[in-house]
Amino acid sequence: MIHAIRGRLRGRGRQYMVVDIGPLDLVVHVPASLLEAEWDIGDAVELFTYLHVRENEWTLYGFESQEQRRLFELLLEVNGIGPRLALSILSSFSPEVLVSAIAQGNADVIARAPGVGHKAAQRVVLHLQDKLELVGIAGAELAGGEADAELVEALRSLGYNVVEAQRVVQMLPKDVTDLEERLRLALMQLGRS
């Protein structure tokens, strides 16, 4: 197994980065959070990796932390979750939000990831609920309930991705409950970043 790679960012596509590691340029499939990072071509990068070997294909996946890679490996243990679906889940949620959703048994949150149906989300929760201590990530306070789900969907309809929407919803004051006011605050917060 290739534990990690260090090199220079050579380019990026919709779901991957190209990393120059000397005589080789490696295509590394990464979560959306890494693609959205403010790296310029030529910047030094370090990725913790997972090599997925199939009969006719070797695919390298890269993560910003060992804990995120461990979550990816645990997701692969779930029946019906392959590398692409696991990457979709990790692209949709921060590791903390995903750990919280699993710990709280909230399959509805996980089902929001593209390509993940409700049954697959339930399998993720059932399979991983007792394995979260293996990850070493403390769960974040989960965007709570139907009101936050509506706010996340409203932000997504405005063009923000799930990760951005979840992140900003977590930062909002808990005493503000009006959906319009929460949306206004969320858009202000997103405008600053």
Cβ atoms of 19 and 45 within 8 Å: the answer is yes
Res 29: pLDDT: 97
Q: What is the pLDDT of residues 163-177, one digit of tens each?
A: 677 778 777 877 787
Res 12: pLDDT: 92
Assigned token pair, 119: 């049954």
| Residue with the larger pLDDT of the pair 141 and 24 | 24
- Classified by CATH at the fold level, domain 4-63 comes out as OB fold (Dihydrolipoamide Acetyltransferase, E2P) (2.40.50)
Half-sphere exposure (CA, 13 Å, Cβ side) for 30?
28
What is the CATH code for 66-134?
A: 1.10.150.20
Q: What is the pLDDT of residues 1-16, one digit of tens each?
A: 789 999 999 999 989 9
Q: What is the pLDDT of residues 43-74, one digit of tens each?
A: 999 999 999 999 999 999 999 999 899 999 99
DSSP SS3 for 144 = coil
Res 143: pLDDT: 44
Helix (H) or strand (E) holding 171: helix 162-171
**Alpha-carbon span 135 to 128, nearest angstrom:** 10
**Alpha-carbon span 124 to 129, nearest angstrom:** 8
Give the total residue count for the chain.
193
Mean pLDDT of the chain: 85
Domain boundaries, the chain: 4-63, 66-134, 145-192
- Confidence band (pLDDT; 50, 70, 90) for 184? confident
What's the Cα-to-Cα distance from 45 to each of 14, 18, 19, rounded to whole Å? 18, 10, 8
Cα–Cα–Cα angle for 60, 54, 127, nearest 5°?
Answer: 80
